């Protein structure tokens, strides 16, 4: 029988291990990841997905927008390979990917004293639920996306996180640092990078980290290491051929 579907599973609110290492050690596969091209992980054509995609395209710098879509395609490739039982909608995951870095724009960094993930989650809730035109997201879907955005840099070894949040973490850290290279086929990386070029993303993101810490030296990003994290971003050897 297929797994029971509820609003929690549909929107990715099922609890999973917060520790990626613990999660990935469970039921480890015996086969390598398959090649999953972009054509096999299409962007949903729902009115909500199209509205948020246009919002992200118009508000994010091109390198950040491309990163957001790489995270979408890498995440779905990881999900198909390692977590096929996670049956939250592609639409919900796309919304989280498109909005997870909305707090990093120069305007939004200066709009608040809050860390970019937290402020970005508030912005996401507002954008998802208060549309001038087009559909609003259901409340639970919007809250799941906001939860995932708040915690997408919260790399814990204890406790739980939502399935949506864990996938967003895995895919962002994969694109940003090259960690968990064994989760994605090299040809998938080739194809995703061809469709959504990095445009020197490693340097762009490292500069954004330094920019936030210059403005807000208390920011949550410091939990990843004030110097260690940007260093890992800049030494991303897995993605360096695509920079």
Domain total for the chain? 1
**Which pLDDT score, from 0 to 100, does residue 1 have?**
36
Residue 27, in any domain of the structure: no
**Which pLDDT score, from 0 to 100, does residue 3 have?**
47
Residue 77, in any domain of the structure: yes
Structural domain span for residue 140 = 7-18+44-242
Task: Divide the 243 residues of the chain into consecutive groups of 10 and give the mean pLDDT of each group.
Answer: 66 96 90 97 97 97 98 98 96 98 97 97 96 88 98 94 98 97 98 98 96 96 92 96 97
Instruction: Answer yes or no: are the C-beta atoms of 116 and 109 closer than 8 Å.
Output: yes
Residue 36, in any domain of the structure: no
Residue 134, in any domain of the structure: yes
**Which pLDDT score, from 0 to 100, does residue 216 have?**
96
Residue 39, in any domain of the structure: no
**Which pLDDT score, from 0 to 100, does residue 5 have?**
61
Residue 165, in any domain of the structure: yes
**Which pLDDT score, from 0 to 100, does residue 146 have?**
98
**Residue/partner pairs of 199-202 with CB below 8 Å, 24 or more apart:** 199/62, 199/63, 199/66, 200/63, 200/243, 201/63, 201/66, 201/67, 201/175, 201/239, 201/243, 202/176, 202/233, 202/234, 202/236, 202/239, 202/240, 202/243
Residue 1, in any domain of the structure: no
Q: What's the CATH code of the domain at 164?
A: 1.10.3210
């Amino acid at each position: 029988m297929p797994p029971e579907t509820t609003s929690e599973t549909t929107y990715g609110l099922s609890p999973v291990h917060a520790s990626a290492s613990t999660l990935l050690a469970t039921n480890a596969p015996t086969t390598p990841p398959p090649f999953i091209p972009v054509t096999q992980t299409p962007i949903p054509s729902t009115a909500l997905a199209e509205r948020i995609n246009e919002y992200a395209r118009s508000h994010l710098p091109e390198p950040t927008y491309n990163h957001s879509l790489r995270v979408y395609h890498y995440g779905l490739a990881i999900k198909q390979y390692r977590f096929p039982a996670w049956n939250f909608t592609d639409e919900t995951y796309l919304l989280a990917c498109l909005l997870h870095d909305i707090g990093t724009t120069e305007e939004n960094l200066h709009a608040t004293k809050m860390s970019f993930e937290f402020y970005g989650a508030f912005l996401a809730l507002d954008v998802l639920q208060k549309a001038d035109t087009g559909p609003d997201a259901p409340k639970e879907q919007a809250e799941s996306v906001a939860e995932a955005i708040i915690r997408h840099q919260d790399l814990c070894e204890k406790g739980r996180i939502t399935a949506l949040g864990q996938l967003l973490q895995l895919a962002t850290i994969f694109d940003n640092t090259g960690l968990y290279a064994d989760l994605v086929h090299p040809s998938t990386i080739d194809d995703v990078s061809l469709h959504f070029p990095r445009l020197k993303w490693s340097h762009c993101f490292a500069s954004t980290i330094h920019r936030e810490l210059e403005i807000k030296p208390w920011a949550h990003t410091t939990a990843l290491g004030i110097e260690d994290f940007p260093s890992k971003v800049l030494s991303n050897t897995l993605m360096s051929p695509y920079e």
